[in-house]
Structure 1
Amino acid sequence: MNLLQIPSPADSAQAIYNTIQQTATAEAESVTMNAFDLALKGGWIMIVLLILLMMTIYVLIERTLVINKAGKEDNSFMNRIKDYIHDGKIDAAIALCRHTDTPSARMVEKGISRLGRPTTDVMSAIENQGNIEISKLEKGIPVLATAASGAPMIGFLGTVTGMVKAFMSMASAGANVDVNILSTGIYEALVTTVGGLIVGIIALFAYNYLTTRIKGIVNKLEMRIMEFMDILNEPAA
């Protein structure tokens, strides 16, 4: 009887493959777990940063939808308003403005409602309505500005508190200083700094994007004011 059994090459290859696969899986799980544990090391600072990140994403999506709706308008809108006003169909012009339901349409409607008054009164009413529309578009933008400037500072606060914990652990350990004792405070210091910078950068980009879009809407509103005043000042055909 042969007591020494030599495995076949196929069995050896399969065993090596299984070993490599198990090792890779274990390392992937370890990396995932370590990344999650690393985020947890940030403590309550990471919760604050997470809240700021969620607020930033919400404002970005919500304001983008609002701005997209505000920027949509029929290219023939002002021509139709001109025809209605020159034909004396004021009610039809107001109905068109209400149906269009955009910031520029509401400004024009405000101007139409002041027809017959001095030009300065009409202009003042339109500009006041324009300021109201702009303030509506800018709703939530201060949240992004706060997150962009505040998140890195909150992350830095976590860095300071983490280092304080690390030095307190060193002082408590005395001569028996262990790296594992210091790791908790150092993890918190590093994670909160990175988290604060990530949230701050996202908020900053969102702020610049939305403010640029709003400036485009403001320019369009100013053009509509000039077009409407030209309609009032030009003689009917």
Structure 2
Amino acid sequence: MDSQATLAPATGSTGGAFDLVIAGGPVVWLLIAMSIVALTVILYKFAQFAMTGIWRTGHIEKAVKLFRDGNRREALAAVQGAKDPASITVATAIRGALRSDVSDAAVREEVERVATAEINGLKSHVGLLEIIGSLSPLLGLLGTVLGMIQAFRAMEAAGRNVDPAILSGGIWAALLTTAAGLIVAIPVVAIASWFERTILQVARRTEDAVTRIFTPDLTRRTESPADEIRAASL
């Protein structure tokens, strides 16, 4: 009878969400805490992306075009004050190009440093989401294993007096933690992957813009096609 009492709390009430949390035990409470942390990070990252304006690219293209046309100060004004990594990095490159007392190598080194710092700022806390996404299903599986161990130990202690209905209730309560772990992990992993892809796009955009600042536009024709072919054959 004592063994049946051990299993009974797992099947006491299954109607409400709070009852499911109670049935899941400490592992479910830990998963809830991790989900709150993950939600906080996700909201922070969305706010950060929106405030820095990483999806706005028109002013960057305008600045690069102005710079290549020789309007360097106008190009700097086009990205001045913008907070996204590409604009900040391009502004640094243009400022370096405007200074005659700084070597080209020093400018490139500083631009690389600024770009790395800005991209790393976007990457902040994304690693925490990846950790939560990786650990959540493992914690859920651990809770299930511990619950199954407890259920089968109680069945062994009960001998022939165990009630199959009570045993099945203990098993589903143990499996509840696996479901909770997956519920936390799936959206967190998906959103963290989206953050990573977005940051990668920003990094590529920054690299492309800076490269166009430091190199001439070879796509523009400076002479007729016949003259270009004749010059290439010399």
TM over 0.5, shorter chain: yes
Gaps of 5+ in 1: 1-30, 233-237
Residue 32 of structure 1: how far off its partner (Å): 7.3
**Where does residue 106 of structure 1 map in the other structure?**
88
Following TM superposition, the consecutive aligned residue runs of length 4 or more in structure 1 with deviations greater than 6 angstroms are none
Equivalent residues of 2:21, 2:29 under 8 A apart: no
Residue 227 of structure 1: how far off its partner (Å): 1.7
* TM-score normalised by structure 2 residue count: 0.73
Q: Does 1:166 align with 2:151?
A: yes
CA RMSD between the two structures: 2.8
The residue aligned with 1:178 is 163
The structure, 1 or 2, with the larger RCO (C-alpha pairs under 8 Å, 6+ apart) is 2
Letter in 2 for 1:171: E
Matches within 5 A, 1:17-166: 33=15, 36-68=18-50, 69-73=53-57, 74=59, 75-81=61-67, 86=70, 89=73, 96-115=78-97, 116=100, 117-166=102-151
TM-score, structure 1 as length reference: 0.72
Q: Do the aligned partners of residues 199 and 159 (structure 1) sit closer, same or farther apart at CA in structure 2, a change above 3 Å counting?
A: same
| CA displacement, residues 163-193 of structure 1 (integer Å, 9 cap, x when unaligned) | 1211232233343212455356423311001
Q: Give yes or no for contact 2:86–2:202 (8 Å, CA) kept in 1.
A: no
Q: Is the 8 A contact 1:164 1:185 kept in 2?
A: no
Verify the 8 A CA contact 2:66 2:72 in the aligned structure 1. Answer: no
| Pick aligned residue for 1:192 from 169, 173, 177 | 177
Q: Where do 5+ consecutive residues of structure 2 fail to align?
A: 1-12, 218-234
Q: Find the aligned partners of 2:72 and 2:198 in 1 and give their Cα distance.
A: 36
My pick for the range that moved more, 197-206 or 50-59, is 50-59
Change in 2 beyond 3 A, CA 1:79/1:148: same
